[in-house]
Structure 1
Amino acid sequence: MLIQKFLFVFYISSLFWRENVCADNRKFPPDFKFGIATASYQIEGGWDADGKGENIWDHLTHQTNLVKDHSTGDITCDSYHKSKEDLALLKDLGVDFYRFSLSWARILPTGYIDGQINEAGIRYYEDILSELEKHGIEAMVTLYHWDLPQKLQDDFGGVLNDTFIDVFANYAQLAFELFGSRVKYWVTFNEPFIICQQGYENGNKAPAITKAPGIDLYTCAHVVLKAHAKVYHIYDTFYRKTQKGKIGLVLNTDWFEPASGDPKDLEASERQLQFQFGWFAHPIVYGNYPQVMIDRIGERSIREGFKTSRLPKFTNSEIEEIKGTFDFIGLNHYTTTLTRWKEDEAIGKPESLKDISVEVFKNPFWEGSASSWLKVVPWGIRRISKWIKDTYKNPELIITENGYSDVGGIFDDSRRINYYREYLSNVLEAIYDDGVNITAYTAWSFMDNFEWLEGYTEKFGLFSVNFTDPARPRTPKSSVNYFKNVTKTKCVVEQCL
């Protein structure tokens, strides 16, 4: 009976929480840009083609059974051989920019600048940039979207070692030299929270190392932030003046909605936001980690018997080096999660979830998708955008990923269209009603692809890909026409004001 009452309260609440069922009929600003995104390992295939080296995702999919359908990215969409066809589809979509990532091991098979430089890999990305230029589409290039060359992982532990900083900087500088004159936006790292928390804590992403929970993920983040800052300063000092691009960091977060108006639930929401988004945003804006992280991890570390905090400490010079290292912040946002106060667990084995100590859950009445974690909660994108504005001095904010998953084989994807319409309506409200400095929006994803440990069981694409056909044909879903109309009219509805 108590459960029924609880669910009834949730149901009634959900009627009020679904605030934006009517789409906004205002136009986006004239200079607002629309783009679409992919990632190298998820679409390229050609895993060992033309001299490409092995990366940590090649290694994980070949050496383990962690992927749900036991698939790999060896071929995936085969974009390595179909890039011209794909870029023609991009032109027809009418996007202003294309966000894609470089496969580090395709350019530098061992990861090192003093090793072999793979000319075939360089030509592949040069051809993409030439086609984009020909079609009048700007390039947003991510340097690191999770596919570290395996040799760097083997040699020194990858992003757990400060050696990574200089190795990454050398790779980035090579990319600036080779491609920078044709790249409008650079992203150093995609979702460092996922790189560190899932790569080195819960094992849900490569390299899936779980040896030191509560420790390795903080070491990883510390190294990533210093590497990001070094690359930012290299671009700022040597390339910005001539190449005239921008460089930033892409961070992911849900909106964490308090489960009630109780001050403890409000505090839990803020803490969860700071332990995820603030973990990386606070250093690049203010120079150091959020105080709540410093205090909680430090206090628990001492009680656990550590001599110092498990959260590494920046030196004064590192604080100054990291502070201000962004021209824009990229936001990857898909869904909203409810938060509730949770009493701290007893001191024992370290774990990051114990450091946070927040209960997170979903409203069971929110609309779902093919991904268990992705509920359709359009107003969340407005609330997280406003929170970023208020917390981090209203930076230039680019929505770098936002999208909806289906199970595949669905060409009339009306639910995806509704998702985009309602989320984009809330972006409009964030811009016009809340004064958030959002300058661009990027749909995820261009086409169905390899979805990491979910393999091919979840599909985010506007274009369907037949993975059982060796030719990997692309078929437009209904959302293609909808998104084309948005890019053409800057309206989310057929008739704008």
Structure 2
Amino acid sequence: MTLNSDAKKQLPHDFIWGFATASFQIEGSTDVDGRGKSIWDDFSKLPGKTLDGKDGDVATDSYQRWKEDIELLAEYGVKSYRFSIAWPRIIPLGGRNDPVNAKGIKFYSNLIDGLLAKGIIPFVTLYHWDLPQALHERYGGWLNKEEITQDFVHFAKVCFEAFGDRVQNWLTINEPWCVSAIGYGYGRFAPGRTSERSRSAEGDSSTEPYIVAHNELVAHAHVVKLYRDQYKRQQGGQIGITLNGDWCMPYDDSPENIAAAQRSLDFHIGWYADPVYLGTDYPESMRKLLRDRLPRFTDEELALVKGSSDFYGMNTYTTKLCMDGGNDEFQGNVKTTFTRPDGTQLGNQAHCSWLQDYAPGFRALLNYLWKRYQSPIYVTENGFAVKDEHTKSVEDAIKDTERVHYFKGVTASLRAAILEDGCDIRAYFGWSLLDNFEWADGYTTRFGCTYVDYETQKRYPKDSAKFLVKFFKENVAAAPAS
């Protein structure tokens, strides 16, 4: 990849960079200080739901060690830290008429103050998958549009009022595709509903994921309207949604596979981004395949959803080669591979089967999103899991050469997309600050730029963290003298 010939040209001085985490993946202390249960608490304890049979009760103990984590962030010199607020820690039973937990408010208030004291910008996610269990039991959670919208808006209101005087960057929902497709389609994530009866006694994969996705978009848009109507003017912040989606390349130049690659983008990104950023119905390829199983927006809903994000929140990890065929609806009936027609691999294989290292795809996706949606891009998650890292000694694990290689590629692509291609990209968050509870993978998959010894909870910076620190120190321009 050719970088800008002007080696001195740098990213804008206000470019934000840092690391990201999620509450259930790091906090632990699941029954401390009044926290209620989330849908992940009991789900992760069910036999077979996590690869190693472990749950999030301790995770990286960050509820107790938050000061240590802030010191680590300060040592790295980050500009920002993206974290999520655990809904059941704020409202243990979740609902608009349920009590608010003062100790939960105090925890996040202290965390925010601690970050600001170190000059670190808090970047806050309201929903990173930990729905209060009580709401799932009360009315089906995300399956009930009217109820979940009112309760999510109320939860957001509590957060805006408690933290909005110090938080200027908000995300409503993290990766709604994963919530809907993996939680209600495949059944591998909480609440684990699926038509596959060997996995769950309840669920309908042919309808529920699309209902949930629709309800997520509507609830998100109502939260954004609340913020803009009641808080934005006084608090001066911005709010958006963050979507997952990887670059999709045709396996070859056949028309069928070219169409398949676009369809894959539609079913992962366009599903949410087209209504939000373009104000249109769901992609035509989705409507054609799913017909009436795909909900329809009312005129009022579409007007509310259109423009309901101040930026494009982008979570991305890999690139896929796409072929027409298969019967996986959530992939748009597209088969994917990392093996090229000549038998070579796209890139280095990660620990997880779905991830290979291919930096040109990162640049291509940035360009696709910028050209299609014309909204400033915040890369809110991006990272790599080194193969078998969980079996390595601390000394070996911190020398994470493959992860460094990954970040070298994506940062070069990031720089080129901004300085050569003209994409408006304003932030980059590496996933993740810490090794942590990796959902259905348990603790067998490590994405951290900091190694965590789960026996002692001691943190050890990896070479990848050092690389990112050095890159952004060298490539972000100094703030102009005031």
> Alignment partner for residue 438 of structure 2, among 451, 455, 469?
451
Offset of 1:334 from its aligned partner?
0.6
Is 1:279 paired with 2:264? no
> Alignment partner for residue 176 of structure 1, among 157, 160, 166?
160
- Map of 1:249 onto structure 2: 241
Range that drifts further, 230-239 or 114-123? 114-123
TM-score, with normalisation over the residues of structure 2? Answer: 0.91
Count of residue pairs the alignment pairs up: 454
> Alignment partner for residue 466 of structure 1, among 453, 464, 475?
453
Residues 236 and 342 of structure 1: CA distance in aligned 2, closer, same or farther (over 3 Å): same
- Map of 1:305 onto structure 2: none
- Map of 2:329 onto structure 1: 352
**8 Å contact 2:363–2:413 — kept in the other structure?**
yes
> Alignment partner for residue 289 of structure 1, among 255, 260, 282?
282
Is 1:158 paired with 2:141? yes
How far apart in 1 are the matches of 2:110 and 2:185? 38
Offset of 1:24 from its aligned partner?
10
* SS of equivalent to 1:194: helix
How far apart in 1 are the matches of 2:332 and 2:351? 28
Offset of 1:113 from its aligned partner?
3.2
Residues 22 and 448 of structure 1: CA distance in aligned 2, closer, same or farther (over 3 Å): farther
Offset of 1:22 from its aligned partner?
12
How far apart in 1 are the matches of 2:364 and 2:117? 38
How far apart in 2 are the matches of 1:262 and 1:290? 22
> Alignment partner for residue 400 of structure 1, among 374, 380, 385?
380
How far apart in 1 are the matches of 2:445 and 2:2? 26
How far apart in 1 are the matches of 2:320 and 2:6? 24
> Alignment partner for residue 469 of structure 2, among 478, 484, 496?
484
**8 Å contact 1:213–1:352 — kept in the other structure?**
no
AA aligned opposite 1:489: E
Range that drifts further, 155-164 or 400-409? 400-409
Give deviations 1:175-198, integer Å, cap 9, x for gaps. Answer: 000001111210000000000000
Is 1:311 paired with 2:294? yes
**8 Å contact 1:20–1:422 — kept in the other structure?**
no
Offset of 1:81 from its aligned partner?
0.4
Is 1:121 paired with 2:109? no
Offset of 1:481 from its aligned partner?
2.0
1:131-280 matches, cutoff 5 A: 131-162=114-145, 163-210=147-194, 211-280=203-272
Offset of 1:20 from its aligned partner?
7.2
How far apart in 2 are the matches of 1:403 and 1:451? 13
Offset of 1:23 from its aligned partner?
12
Offset of 1:482 from its aligned partner?
1.6
- Map of 2:361 onto structure 1: 380
Offset of 1:423 from its aligned partner?
0.5
**8 Å contact 1:93–1:487 — kept in the other structure?**
no
Residues 63 and 149 of structure 1: CA distance in aligned 2, closer, same or farther (over 3 Å): same
How far apart in 2 are the matches of 1:436 and 1:295? 32
Offset of 1:391 from its aligned partner?
1.7
Q: Any gaps of 5 or more consecutive residues in structure 2?
A: 195-202, 478-482
**8 Å contact 2:45–2:53 — kept in the other structure?**
no
- Map of 2:197 onto structure 1: none
1:424-439 matches, cutoff 5 A: 424-439=411-426
Instruction: Give the superposed CA RMSD.
Output: 1.9
- Map of 1:3 onto structure 2: none
AA aligned opposite 1:414: T
How far apart in 2 are the matches of 1:23 and 1:444? 29
How far apart in 2 are the matches of 1:215 and 1:21? 46
Offset of 1:352 from its aligned partner?
2.4
Range that drifts further, 317-326 or 289-298? 289-298
How far apart in 2 are the matches of 1:441 and 1:52? 31
- Map of 1:418 onto structure 2: 405
Offset of 1:435 from its aligned partner?
1.6
Residues 207 and 22 of structure 1: CA distance in aligned 2, closer, same or farther (over 3 Å): farther
- Map of 1:301 onto structure 2: none
**8 Å contact 1:186–1:247 — kept in the other structure?**
yes
Offset of 1:491 from its aligned partner?
6.5
Is 1:371 paired with 2:352? yes
Give deviations 1:345-388, integer Å, cap 9, x for gaps. Answer: 6xxxxx624x8222211126221121221100011111111111
AA aligned opposite 2:225: H
AA aligned opposite 1:484: V
